[in-house]
Amino acid sequence: MISNTTQTLDPQVLTQAVDWLLKLQTEAANPATQAAFEHWQSSHPQHAEAWSRLTQIEHTFGQVQRKALAKQVLTRMDHASRRHALKKLGTLGLILPSAWLGYRALPLTRWQAEYQTAVGEQKHLHLGDGTHLVLNTDSAVDIQYREQRQIVLHQGEVWLETGHQDKRKLVVITPHGELVPLGTRFNVKLTAERTILAVTEGEVRIQLDNGQSSVVQAGQQRAFNRHGLEQTRRAEQHVGYWQQGMLLAQEMPLETLLKELARYRHGVIRCHPDLRQMVVSGAFPLNDTDAALDLLQKTLPVRVLIPSRYWIMVEPANTAG
Amino acid sequence: MALLNIRWQQLHDVYRQHHDWLQGWLRKKTGNSWDAADIAHDTFVRIMHHNKLAQLGTEPRALLVHIAKGLVIDHWRHQQVERAYQETLAQLPPGSWPSAEEQHLILESLRQIDRLLQTMPAQTRAIFLLAQLDGLTYQQIADQLDMSLITVKRHMRKAYLACLSL
């Protein structure tokens, strides 16, 4: 990994570090040179830091398996395009590291596992074949990797990013049918009546027991049950964002928003009939639904009544009592 | 709890005031409303996760655009790395494909390396890759490209400095 430290180093120190590296790479080992290098390295914390960054760069290349393949890929790339992109976008963009933290690495083959999440909990699973799976609140899956890779969704919602790697077929199974992804990212949400598939990248094929099948493209969503497929629709924008612990609502009916929030807590949230179609936009925390409800109350003409922790009512603000 | 509330309140307000504008800006730049919606969302996620609310200041749109630009470019680059990788793989006989685990690591390495190479001039990059991935010595590179050893070293020096300056 490349260091993400923000400490700015003196350009002169960086140049010195590079010169040392080139010297050590090209000159025959020599105790005097070695001693001089060690002296330089230990004489200032910035020297040590610059050297450590340089070592990390060497490591990035050193660890590459299949260097010939990597070279072919990089040669194929259009390296000028980043500069073009920058030009197209205006001034320089800052590239921040993605926050992929807290994943669990799991062994690759021949295992079966059952994973569950409690209400309000989310779980990241990083499978050995490169498949990344996030379980949403109150969900359950079985993972069985045998002659084919099977992920069985029993309850709730899962977001998947498939590895393109393992040659065995990957299938996601729900009580309503089977999904065969073709190198992709997608979200599967299971309710009592139907399964809702939303694809954000690549394609996924839906296969029903009755022989019906259909391919869903990136940007589309489609619901189905054992008896048939519903119309393909444009995927909702907030698909998969639950895994960031945040619900981003863009002109969402209040009733839909409350239904979403209710999935992350025990008990019932009731929406007053007059408010069902009220349009809401904003960012709401899913890991603290009390705070989310509080936000609603502060920014909309509504009142949140909490007779008990498990019984919440959202009413128009001007209602008496 | 109180602190969390204030943070969300602030994020919520920024979102309501600037989300649609940012998405419109991204749509114009990327010409793709699906990507625009995605990246606009990611921008707010980034703001929250990296605790950048305090930096929003009086001109929140400046920081929003700054973060969004980085995400757009990252997005394009990742797509390009993956495409180039798939195309390369397609030309190899399936028997010689890396294992599932290897492939995951290779793609990750490729993304990192692509980032390191981004500011290098073409010739410097070619020489740097000959040394790092083809495993040639500087003398071998000099012979192969018919240039002096000192010129090869000058390119290597430039390449390392380009990596360090990121």
Q: Which of A57, A145, A199 to mutate to test the interface with B (most CBs of B within 10 A)?
A: A57
pLDDT the model gives residue B113: 93
pLDDT the model gives residue A316: 93
Say if domain A245-316 classifies as CATH 3.90.650.10. no
Query: What's the gap in Å between the CA of B38 and the closest CA on chain A?
Result: 7
Residues of B in contact with A75 (CB under 8 A): 129
Is A135:A125 a contact under the CB 8 Å cutoff?
A: yes
Which segment, A17-21, B42-46, B98-102, is predicted with the most confidence on average? A17-21
pLDDT the model gives residue B2: 56
- Residues A57, B160: C-beta atoms closer than 8 Å: yes
Which residue in the set A18, A61, A93 is minimally distant from B69, CB to CB? A93
pLDDT the model gives residue A231: 92
- The two tokens of residue A24 are 């050590």
pLDDT the model gives residue A178: 94
Is B16:A281 a contact under the CB 8 Å cutoff?
A: yes
d(CA B73, CA A88) in angstroms, rounded, equals: 10
pLDDT the model gives residue A98: 31
Domain residue spans of chain A = 1-97, 112-234, 245-316
Residue among B126, B129, B117 nearest B165 (CA): B117
In the predicted model, what is the mean pLDDT of residues B20-32? 88
Residue B24 pLDDT class (50, 70, 90 cuts): very high
- A295 in contact with B at a CB cutoff of 8 Å? yes
State how far the alpha carbon of A150 is from the alpha carbons of A43, A66, A107, A183, A187, in Å: 57, 29, 15, 15, 16
Residues of A in contact with B159 (CB under 8 A): none
Query: What's the gap in Å between the CA of B145 and the closest CA on chain A?
Result: 17
- The two tokens of residue B102 are 């290897």
pLDDT the model gives residue B127: 95
Count the alpha carbons within 13 Å of A300 in the hemisphere toward its beta carbon. Answer: 26
- The two tokens of residue B31 are 């010409």
- Residues B122, A64: C-beta atoms closer than 8 Å: no
Q: Is the pLDDT of residue B32 over 60?
A: yes
d(CA A103, CA A126) in angstroms, rounded, equals: 6
d(CA A237, CA A165) in angstroms, rounded, equals: 28
- The two tokens of residue A230 are 């519903």
d(CA B48, CA B1) in angstroms, rounded, equals: 16
Is A187:A197 a contact under the CB 8 Å cutoff?
A: yes
Residue among A180, A159, A184 nearest A244 (CA): A159
pLDDT the model gives residue A90: 56
Say if domain A112-234 classifies as CATH 2.60.120.1440. yes
pLDDT digits (tens, 9 = 90+) for B124-158: 999 999 999 999 999 999 999 999 999 999 999 99
Which alpha helices (DSSP H) does A43-196 contain, by range? 45-62, 67-76, 80-89
The parts of chain A modelled with pLDDT lower than 50 are 1-6, 91-112, 321
Place of tokens 């009512």: A313
pLDDT the model gives residue B3: 57
The full length of chain A comes to 321
The residues in B 3-22 lying below 8 A from A, measured between CB atoms, are: 4-5, 8-9, 11-12, 15-16, 19-20
pTM over 0.95: no
pLDDT the model gives residue A54: 93
SS3 content of chain B, % helix, strand, coil (to 5): 80, 0, 20
Residues 6+ apart with CB under 8 A from A19: B157
Average pLDDT, chain B: 86
pLDDT the model gives residue A106: 34
Tally Cβ neighbours within 10 Å of residue A86.
16
pLDDT the model gives residue B74: 81
- Residues B161, A130: C-beta atoms closer than 8 Å: no
Domain residue spans of chain B = 2-95
pLDDT the model gives residue A65: 84
